[in-house]
Every structure is written in structure tokens, then in C-alpha cells.
Amino acid sequence: TSAPKPILYVDGVTVTFDGFRALNDLSLVIAPGEMRAIIGPNGAGKTTMMDVITGKTRPDVGTVAFNGDVDLTKLDEAAIAQLGIGRKFQKPTVFESHTVRDNLQLALAGLRKPFTVLFAKETAKERQRIDELLELTKLTESHGRLAGDLSHGQKQWLEIGMLLAQEPALLLVDEPVAGMTDAETAETAELLVEINKTRSVVVVEHDMTFVKALGVKVTVLHEGSVLAEGPLDQVQANERVIEVYLGR
């Protein structure tokens, strides 16, 4: 029996900025349906890794493949998003002067043929999906509020909901709980666990309480390569990881 094709396969990726290796022979394999947490000190290459996966930065050398054999290094950002890779940046970008529901509706309408966006009312199917996304992101009661009036945590959830409207097979999430309260952090972990029931997730995060709550395999990046990989308690006990975090 052969192993299932990885949803994401990164092998031997190097990215150089003015001679400096932001990624250095990086390899990472994400199985279909997996959620992976990526940690590592500042400058480890986490953002550059996300940029390479989403086509924002081209690797000097190396393989980045999606769904087994789709070579992402030849595609631009729009094509990669279209293939089913969604990226949540750290700062939420919602339409602040629109309601929560309208934000989700716009995200769904974005999938339609351009000329139907303006004229067609939302379909029953779209309405149902919006209700599901409101429920998932715990925004049902806030559906009529302006997105600009939401708490920081709620804005992050709304943006995640908007990304899910595009039904990505792989969701990349960059430091989702930065600036959140403890309660919001715990709810965000629950949300990602729920999302991971239907799609693969890669999440970069510094907050170890949050990473622990996810309960998934952790990859530690350092100087552009993988330093350690495994359950959180195991990588936290790894001497090289401890050295890197203590800056010795």
C-alpha cells in the first residue's frame, strides 16, 4: 500500500536575500487532513516559508508541490489561491463598514462569475453556507453588526470564515492569536481543530498555550531549516530547541 499523496510537499527549498539564506534546504511534508503547527524564533524563516508556499517568493532551488504533483514554484499567487490554498495573514482585513454577514456574502460572491456578483441575489445555497460559517466562527449573534465594531478576536474569526468561503483544501494561518485574550485564544484553538476536520491546516504561532491546545505535531524552524519535529512536549524537551529559544 502506498502512502497518500501529501497535500504539501516541500523539499530542499533555499531562498536567498542578498546572499543571506532565509530558507536553507527546508523540507516539510504535510499529510492530507493534517494540521501542523510551525514554531521558531524571530528570523527563523516562518514568514518566508509561507511566502514560498503561496507564490509570493520564488525559491532559488527546491520543490514545492501541492496535492501530490502540482508544482507551485511555477505558479503565481492568484493561481495558487485558485488551486485551493488560503492564507490568513496576521492582521485581519475585513470590510469594516459592512456587516459581518455582508463580509461573508462578498467572500462567497467572489467565487461567482464576475457579472453575476452585482445582479444576482444570494442563492439559498449561499445563504445556507453563510449561516454555517457564522455558526462555525461563533458570529451568528453578531451577523448584523459592522465588522469594524467587532473585537479583535472576532475580526480574526470573520476573516477565517471569509477564507473558508473559498473552500481551500489547505489553510495557512499566520499568528492568529497575537493580541487575543486568553478566552479568544482558547476559542481560536477550538475553531482551528473544527476547521481541520474538513481540510489541512498549517499554523505559525508563538503562543505555546495555543499550540498545546491544538494538540498537533509541531515543526521547529531555525535559521531556515527544520530543527526538530514531533509532539510539542517532545520538541520542548529537545536540547537544541531549548538552546535556540534561550539564545545560547
Q: Which is nearer to ligand ADP, 18 or 233 (CB)?
A: 18
Contacts of 177 (CB under 8 A, 6+ apart): 184, 185, 188, 205, 207, 210
Q: Which is nearer to ligand ADP, 43 or 215 (CB)?
A: 43
Q: Which is nearer to ligand ADP, 89 or 95 (CB)?
A: 89
Q: Which is nearer to ligand ADP, 48 or 185 (CB)?
A: 48
The least CB distance from residue 169 to ligand ADP, in Å, is 24
User: Please, what is the angle between helix 152-164 and helix 100-109, to 10°?
Assistant: 20
The least CB distance from residue 29 to ligand ADP, in Å, is 19
DSSP characters for 217-239? Answer: -EEEEETTEEEEEE-HHHHHT-H
Helices (H) and strands (E) in the chain, counts: 10, 10
Chain positions contacting ligand ADP, by CB under 6 A = 17, 20, 22, 40, 42-48
The least CB distance from residue 42 to ligand ADP, in Å, is 4
Q: Which is nearer to ligand ADP, 55 or 84 (CB)?
A: 55
Three-class DSSP category at 171? strand
The least CB distance from residue 146 to ligand ADP, in Å, is 32
Query: Do the beta carbons of residue 112 and residue 118 sit within 8 Å?
Result: no
Q: Which is nearer to ligand ADP, 14 or 73 (CB)?
A: 14
The least CB distance from residue 182 to ligand ADP, in Å, is 24
List strand residue ranges (DSSP E) for the chain, in order.
8-17, 20-30, 35-39, 61-66, 70-71, 85-88, 170-174, 200-204, 218-222, 225-230
The least CB distance from residue 163 to ligand ADP, in Å, is 20
Amino acid 233 reads D
What is the spatial distance between Cα 85 and Cα 78, in angstroms, rounded to a whole number?
Answer: 10
